[in-house]
Structure formats: C-alpha cells, structure tokens
C-alpha cells in the first residue's frame, strides 16, 4: 500500500488531484476513499477488473457524476463548484465509441467544432488535420455505420481532440480492438503526451498500463491497493516464467535439481522456472533438460496479467473483485 500525499503549494504541477473520493450507489460502495495525484504532462493509468470502479472514477473526475465525499481538482479547478472551467480543459473518450453512426466521419468532427468555441475557419483546418493524423481521410465522407471498430475508436479520439484539451480521459480505449488497432491507439496516445497533454487512462490490461503509463494505480473494490511506477509494481508480482509439466514425481525431482530457482507443485507435477519468455532463455532451459535426458510433457510460457497482479496484491483474483 502506498498512500500518496499531494504536495501542497504546487498545485500547478498537478493536472489531477483527488483526495478521499467516495461514491456509493444505494448500499453498494463503489469508491471507498481514493487518493491520487497526476502530474501535468504524464500518463496515469487506473488498472482494475470489470466492476472495480474505474468508469465511476472517470465519471466523477469529468463532472458527469457527483461524488458523495472527497475533493477532486482537475486542471486546478474543483469539479463541483467550477465544473464549467474543468469541462473547458478536458476531453473524454468513454468506454464505447461515442460517435454518431448516421453522420460521416467529417460530419462528426464538424459537429464537435460547431459545439465548441472554436471559430469556424480554424475548425475547418482542425478537421483536416485530425482526419490526416488519424488516417481517416479516405473514409471521411462515409457514414460511420460502415466504419470498423478501430476506425470508430480513432474517430472518437479525434472528436475528443477538437477543442485541443490539455487533459484527456480515456476509459478503456483499446477494449475490443484487434492487436494492430491497439498499437495504433498506443502510438497516438504517446504522441499526445509528447505534445504536453496529460492522460488519465483506465485499462484492464497490465501490459497496456505497463507500455504507456508513468504511474499506475491498482483499483480493487473501490480502493487503491497499490500505486507506483510500472517497475515498482512489477517488482511486487511474479515475473514471466515457463511452466514445465512432467509425467512422474521422479522426473520432477530431477528437473528441480538441475533447474535452480524454480517453484515446484508436487500435485500438478509442474515446475515453474523464471524466464523472460524469449527464445534464448527457452533454449537454455531445453538444453539443460536434454543434457540430463529429461523430457517434459508440456511447456507453457506465462506472462503476468491482471489476475497475477490481483493475486499478488490482494490475495484474490479478479473474479472476486468484480462481485
């Protein structure tokens, strides 16, 4: 557990400062005292399974929902008493692509320009730039109902960028995307931060948080159970390893002696050996087995995921957390 104390007197460096945030729906406590601080120009990732309270947090931070307790300041403004000022500074891309399917890509962006204080002439230029940047020029005149999931997400984010917001909230921006679209989304997010934008991102995927975030907070049943840099967090969970399954206890014994640092499971007849999962380290393990004429029935490479994080940090898996 790391409780972070926001630094008083340096509010300008915090894009988002949250303390003691609480929210309940009826009897169900969704957020139970959240404290976090996001420095300007960084990516902050809120990691947690379905039902952990990620979307509720985003809704409160973006003025869409009122909290029951605690204070939230975004861009230096209170989300309750200065909601208008907060809204002027932020952009939000929700969990589902909030695009208008009966409009074309270009019309969707035009709609955002018309609704924002951007002057018409500048708006036209912004639309052209965004279409180019998100590789949507060719489909700009097509109805969004014909777009693929990846294109919708890109358009969604492009729409969010119309007012040039300095703080952007992304609620599970890559859920449901194929690996290629996911990578495209990641590189767009990195570009935004390079321009000095602050990003608050929620995700269910450890690798996404690891790839993008400067800081990660793990949300479990409405509480932050850990907070830190990706490296700090990864030190607390088991790393990548290979899992070898043998036919007999004798073979397992022999293997455990020659592959040091492994964890054995006598019931499942398996041995877990730390490894980075690369071909070189795999070959080393295989060579070592060959040397002693041992053979494993099965070999699997396991990279840590959200379940491992939860098991390590909370002692229960994500299923429990979702309840």
Strands (E) across the chain are located at 14-25, 28-39, 43-47, 69-74, 77-78, 90-93, 167-171, 198-203, 215-220, 223-228, 241-245, 263-265, 270-274, 298-302
94 close to 207: Cβ distance less than 8 angstroms: no
Closer Cβ to another protein, 114 or 265, answer by number: 114
Q: How far is the CB of 281 from another protein (least distance, A)?
A: 44
CB of 224 to another protein, least distance (A): 22
User: CA–CA separation, 282 vs 274, rounded Å?
Assistant: 10
Residues lying near another protein in the complex (CB under 8 A) are found at 59, 62-65, 84, 87-88, 90-92, 94-100, 102-103, 107, 111-112, 114-119, 143, 159-160, 163
Give the shortest CB-64-to-another protein separation in angstroms.
4
Pairing assessment for the beta strands 241-245 and 270-274 based on DSSP bridges: antiparallel
CA pair distance 45, 217, nearest whole angstrom = 6
Q: For another protein, which is the closer residue by CB, 163 or 304?
A: 163
Least spacing, CB of residue 296 vs another protein, in Å: 49
Instruction: Please choose, from the candidates 88, 2, 165, the residue with its C-alpha nearest in 3D space to the C-alpha of residue 157.
Output: 165
Cα torsion angle, 320, 236, 228, 300, sign: negative
> Looking at beta carbons only, is 116 or 205 nearer to another protein?
116
Give me 10's structure tokens: 């340096």
In whole angstroms, how close is the CB of 279 to another protein at the nearest point?
43
Closer CB to another protein, residue 98 or residue 254?
98
What is the Cα–Cα distance from 248 to 156, expressed in whole angstroms? Answer: 55
**59 vs 318, which CB is nearer to another protein?**
59
At residue 279's C-alpha, the angle toward residues 308 and 209, to 5°, is 35
> Pick from 301, 190, 220: which is nearest to 31 by CA?
220
Q: Which residue has 């929902």 as its token pair?
A: 65
Q: How far is the CB of 87 from another protein (least distance, A)?
A: 5
Burial (0-12, 13-18, 19+ Cβ within 10 Å), 99? buried
The CB-of-229 to another protein minimum distance in angstroms stands at: 29
Can you say how many angstroms the Cα of residue 233 is from the centroid of all Cα atoms in its chain? 14
For another protein, the closer of residues 88 and 254 by Cβ is 88
Query: Which of 45/57 has CB closer to another protein?
Result: 57
Nearer to another protein, 86 or 233 (CB): 86
Q: How far is the CB of 273 from another protein (least distance, A)?
A: 45
From CA 253, how far away is CA 266, in angstroms rounded?
Answer: 9
């Amino acid at each position: 557990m790391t409780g972070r104390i926001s630094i008083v007197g340096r509010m300008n460096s915090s894009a988002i400062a949250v303390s003691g945030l609480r929210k309940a729906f009826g009897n169900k406590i969704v957020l139970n005292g959240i404290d976090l601080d996001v420095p300007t120009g960084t990516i902050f990732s809120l990691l947690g399974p379905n039902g952990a309270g990620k979307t509720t947090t985003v809704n409160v931070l973006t003025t869409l929902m009122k909290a029951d307790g605690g204070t939230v300041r975004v861009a230096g403004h209170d989300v309750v008493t200065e909601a208008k000022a907060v809204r002027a500074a932020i952009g939000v891309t929700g969990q589902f692509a909030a695009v208008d399917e009966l409009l074309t890509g270009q019309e969707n962006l035009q709609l955002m320009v018309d609704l924002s204080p951007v002057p018409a002439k500048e708006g036209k230029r912004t639309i052209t730039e965004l279409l180019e940047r998100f590789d949507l020029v060719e489909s700009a005149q097509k109805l969004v109902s014909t777009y693929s999931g990846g294109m919708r997400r890109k358009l969604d984010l492009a729409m969010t960028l119309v007012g040039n917001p300095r703080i952007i909230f992304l609620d599970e921006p890559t859920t449901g995307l194929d690996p290629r679209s996911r990578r495209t989304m990641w590189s767009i997010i990195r570009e935004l931060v390079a321009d000095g934008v602050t990003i608050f991102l929620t995700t269910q995927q450890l690798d996404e948080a690891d790839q993008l975030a400067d800081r990660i907070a793990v949300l479990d049943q409405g509480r932050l159970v850990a907070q830190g840099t990706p490296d700090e967090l990864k030190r607390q969970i088991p790393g990548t390893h290979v899992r070898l399954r043998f036919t007999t206890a004798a073979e397992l014994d022999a293997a455990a002696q020659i592959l040091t640092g492994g964890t054995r499971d006598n019931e499942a007849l398996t041995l877990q050996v730390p490894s980075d999962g690369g071909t070189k380290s795999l070959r080393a393990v295989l060579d070592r087995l060959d040397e002693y004429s041992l053979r494993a029935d099965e070999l699997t490479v396991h990279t840590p995921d959200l379940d491992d994080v939860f098991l390590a940090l909370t002692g229960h898996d994500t299923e429990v957390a979702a309840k």
